[in-house]
Amino acid sequence: MNVTSPNRTYRFFQLFYVLAFFGFGSLFPLLSVYLENEQGLDHTQIGLIVATIPIVTIFIQPIWGMVSDITRRPRLLLFIAVLMASAMSLLYTQMDTFLTLFLGIVAIALFQSAVVPLSDSLSLHFVQQYDKEYGNIRLWGAVGFAVAVFIVGRVTDITQDLTWVFYAFSFGLVLSAFALSAFPKRGQHVGVSFRAGFKTLVKQKTFLLFLLSNFLIFGPVLANNYYFGTFILTVGGTLSGVGIAFLLAAGSEAPFMNLSQKVINKMGVIPVMMLCALVSGARWLFYFFEPSAMLVYSTTIVQGISVGLYIPAALLYVRQTAPKDVQATAVGLYSAVGNGMGNAFFTFIGGVLLDRWNVYGMYGFFAFMTMIGLIIILLVRAEVNQTVYSAQAGT
What is the C-alpha separation between 321 and 318, in angstroms, rounded?
5
Domain boundary among 189, 213, 235: 189
- pTM score, two decimals? 0.78
What CA–CA distance (Å, rounded) separates 211 from 218? 10
When divided into structural domains, the chain yields a total of: 2
> Is residue 321 domain-resident?
yes
Q: What is the CATH number of the domain that holds 315?
A: 1.20.1250.20
Q: How confident is the model at residue 186 (pLDDT cuts 50, 70, 90)?
A: low
3-state secondary structure 172-234: HHHHHHHHHHHCCCCCCCCCCCHHHHHHHHHCCHHHHHHHHHHHHHHHHHHHHHHHHHHHHHH
Of 126, 155, 189, the residue at which a domain comes to its end is 189
160, 189, 218: which is the final residue of a domain? 189
81: in domain: yes
pLDDT tens digit string along 51-102?
888 888 888 877 887 888 788 888 999 999 999 999 999 999 999 999 999 9
Range of the domain at 350: 203-395
Q: Which residues, 6+ apart, have CB-to-CB distance to 43 below 8 Å?
A: 36
Regarding whether 361 and 229 lie in a shared domain, the answer is yes
Q: What is the pLDDT of residues 223-267, one digit of tens each?
A: 888 778 778 878 887 656 777 888 888 889 888 988 998 999 999
- CA pair distance 23, 112, nearest whole angstrom: 10
Query: Do 232 and 172 belong to one domain?
Result: no
